Chains A and B, each alone.
Chain A
Amino acid sequence: GNSVTQMEGPVTLSEEAFLTINCTYTATGYPSLFWYVQYPGEGLQLLLKATKADDKGSNKGFEATYRKETTSFHLEKGSVQVSDSAVYFCALHQGGKLIFGQGTELSVKP
């Protein structure tokens, strides 16, 4: 069945460091892909999305490119801030529902 795998956390970075969070998926067809962010004690916020191969989603300095060849949707940011500390979830859309990865916790230190 369809599934999403993310790199394990926690990921700890210093402020202004480069961020990559890996996400790969298994799916039939070409599902839309998403990144959501969850701040402590809160629900999920949509960060970015891509609906077809080679699409690049971007928002608030974060980017991810839909790679069909490698079935990946890695999240990147050039310079992280302390306020980016949160849990990041990669997800795919299938049959009306979202299938999530297990989440990657990011901690950014000043």
Chain B
Amino acid sequence: DQQVKQNSPSLSVQEGRISILNCDYTNSMFDYFLWYKKYPAEGPTFLISISSIKDKNEDGRFTVFLNKSAKHLSLHIVPSQPGDSAVYFCAAHIIQSTDKLIFGTGTRLQVFP
């Protein structure tokens, strides 16, 4: 029972264009969502988060959008840079529970020149 789903295992985008990574969830109790970025042979690093009381959060080139009715969130990266090439994990948790993150399976983003 995959509660957080990233249906696109990979995405290839040209440098300078927009990258859009998608994530769907099934548990309506989730109230906090995060994106982590992972390079090979390294641990995930936090990128950006959003609370369920918001529908958008922006940090520089990164924006996360949340559509609660559709149980869908997306990460937009614009403009995309070659250094953004990594695996991106969507994660969710329930604030009232222990701080356990539920991760998606990841999307491998490749930004080419």
Q: Do A and B bind each other?
A: no
